[in-house]
Chain A
Amino acid sequence: MSVIELIGVSKEYESGSETVVALSDVDFSAERGKMVTIVGPSGSGKSTLLNMIGLLDTPTAGVVRLDGRDVTDFSEDELTEERRTGIGFVFQDYHLLPMFTAVENVELPSRWDTSVDRHDRAIDLLERVGLGDRLDHRPDQLSGGQRQRVAIARSLINEPEIVLADEPTGNLDRETGRTILEELTRLKDDENIAIVSVTHDEQLVEYADRTVRLVDGKIDGS
């Protein structure tokens, strides 16, 4: 079954006097254990689509289903809760908190939930991405690749069903990008999660189980 499902989703923005159509009648789904990559030229609506999948934005038309539940009309607070428990995020510029150590950054999304202690899981995840000896390093003491691994560990802390990666290799050199992608693929299989990534990077497409091309807010040829 699809973890996330978008059915006939459109998104329109009011920009001045004209209406900009960012997404038009898009169908999309992602399954556990698979990596889907969304590619397309800039302005094609990739980011908007990723925001819909990540429940960061709501569509103007269509239905969004998470784990089979219709979350289209959820309130902001309900969506926040769904994001916390079900979705992990990896960003192009890592977005780690500079005042916190690697392990603290990884733990962060779980901190406000007092019913669980994910400290051990945080350490375990960092060890699994090869940063077992960097637990107490701050982001400024880590290289770009190491920072992105911390971000990947953070995205997995709450045992999500789906991880969204927005240009995860965008700020990394080719070789580092490759290791990051291998890391992601391995974790995807280990944790049995869906990964949806957005990229310009052709390298990333090699690792994808499926590629979705987006042109002018429409899925191209699928």
Chain B
Amino acid sequence: MKSKKLLLAGAFVAALFTGGIIYAADHIDAPAVTSKSTDITDMYVFRGADANNLVFVANTQGLLAPGSTAAAKFDANTLIQFNIDTNGDGVEDFVIQGLYDGSSKMNVYGPVKPTITGLKSKAEGSVTASVAVTPYGSAATMATGTNGIKVFAGPRDDPFFFDLNAYHAVLAGTPAFNNPGSDAFAGTNVLAFVVEVPKALFGTVAAGKINVWLTTKTKI
């Protein structure tokens, strides 16, 4: 908690000096999600060790100091959803969803064509994989789905790196970044949801590329 408080304090100080600019990847990016289970810190999508697969990484609830990581939990009322647009129209053609069961498991739905799109969602189709959330301090538990996907859910090191404090200083008038810089996210953790997906599950995509965005949605 100490690191989190320090970072939050830094952000507020920065807000005072910069007219409200708070800068990170997406950590505490907006008032309505700050310090909530819906707060996305980052999304990564990259080719897997097997080039036939893509890896989708959703990091949430960032700035966890080691001492507060064991207590951090996924939320059964928060749907974590990767949105995949295969034709560039900004509407998701596939979704991959993670929904915590409230006790120990992350249930995964998809990749599947959603029956509703946009700001409102529901769990789509049936569970394709289920993985026990890895407790803090334990070796990573992984599971493989019926469709060949691999899944993980649990605390990991925050992979984001950035000299946040120097950026605040720049916004306040300092003419340049420090060299070397100092990673403000060093030593902090996130709650990660990672899915590795065979590209073939997206079918034939004429453009040869997809647009991806990550959303968190709250039960209504």
Our verdict on whether A and B bind, yes or no, reads no
